[in-house]
Amino acid sequence: MDYLGKKVLVAGAAGFIGTNLAARLATLGARLRLTIHDKPLQMAFPEAEVLKLDLRSAEDCASAVEGIDYVFICSAHTSGAAVIRTTPLAHITPNVLINTLVLDAAHRAGVSKLCFISTGAIYPDTGTRPVAETEAMNGDPHDVYFAAGWMKRYAEILCRTYSEKIASPMRTVVVRPSNIYGPYDKFDFAVSHVTAALLRRVVERHTPVEVWGTGSDIRDLIYIDDFIDGLIGAFATNLPYLAVNICAGRGHSVRQVLQTLLEVDGFSDADVRFDPSRPSTIPARLMDGGLARTLFGFEPKVPLADGLRRTIAWYRSRQIL
């Protein structure tokens, strides 16, 4: 897909995915419009139009999409395991408003194509078997993800409605990521996911290195550059509607992730303590990447140790600034 000269909106450009996506789109020649809300951009984009907006407002959404060719909805209220378990409704109202109002505004404005960032949390529990796209509605999401999973499912249904069920359709792409990690992630312990939290504890040489849960939880971890490759590939497909997993295609336990972090950063005398009383989410989530491989030849390139090493180097450089 040619982005040269196209007006592209990245909604939620201050976040992890939004920052990295905007950086990639800039290299592809897109004319960027970036929305921020309560946080500043993490990276400078001198040529971009930056709008401070509240995407829970229909009026602000209309301003965001005016004159835009392509939309990427990266804006979302997200959090880690503790918030998901204790206050699941925190994910619902703001995200339903953002997703619904941006989609409506984009369609009204004649946007050519829109991408929605969904989640692997929409899927029902399949244990250690990788889950495929066709299984999305085969039962409720895992109980810990019930609220957030259904919220994302509703947005996916809206995307399909705009693409297939109305007289003047708008093409949409739904991307379901596995667990993304890398530069510009959230490293605040109050809201970070497990990989970012472990990385920070290792780099800062915490004593002890505290790990929530037993360490046996298994996740599919994909480095952010690989994820953006997959996202760009999915958006380039010539389909009216697509829902696709973008994942690494293999699992690592939390213990394995921690051990890799300790090895690549030379923290050989770490005092590691697992705390089963602290909140984790689900025992396993693995995703099937076959559809992305078949449709647009997506293959992740960055091994876990490499990706963690790059992220550690980036994190250290930011701490020195």
Task: Give the residue-averaged pLDDT of 234-242.
Answer: 98
The CA distance from 113 to 8, in Å, is 10
pLDDT of 187 reads: 95
pLDDT of 85 reads: 62
Give the model confidence (pLDDT) of 42-71 as tens digits: 999 999 999 999 999 999 999 999 999 999
Taking the mean position of all CA atoms in its chain, how far away is CA 217?
Answer: 19
Give the model confidence (pLDDT) of 199-217 as tens digits: 999 999 999 999 988 999 9
Residue 259 located in a structural domain: no
Residue 313 located in a structural domain: no
The enclosing H or E element of 262 equals helix 254-264
pTM, rounded to two decimals: 0.95
pLDDT of residue 320 exceeding 90, the answer is: no
DSSP state of 213: B
The CA distance from 92 to 98, in Å, is 10
**By the 8 A CB rule, do 31 and 5 touch?**
yes
Residue 280 located in a structural domain: no
Residue 125 located in a structural domain: yes
User: What total of structural domains would you count in the chain?
Assistant: 1
The CA distance from 304 to 198, in Å, is 14
| CATH code (residue 230) | 3.40.50.720
**By the 8 A CB rule, do 173 and 116 touch?**
yes
Domain boundaries, position 73: 7-184+220-249+285-302
pLDDT of residue 231 exceeding 70, the answer is: yes
pLDDT of 321 reads: 41
Residue 70 located in a structural domain: yes
Percent of the chain with pLDDT over 70: 95
Residue 317 located in a structural domain: no
DSSP letters for 150-180 = HHHHHHHHHHHHHHHSSSS--EEEEEEE-EE
pLDDT of residue 33 exceeding 70, the answer is: yes
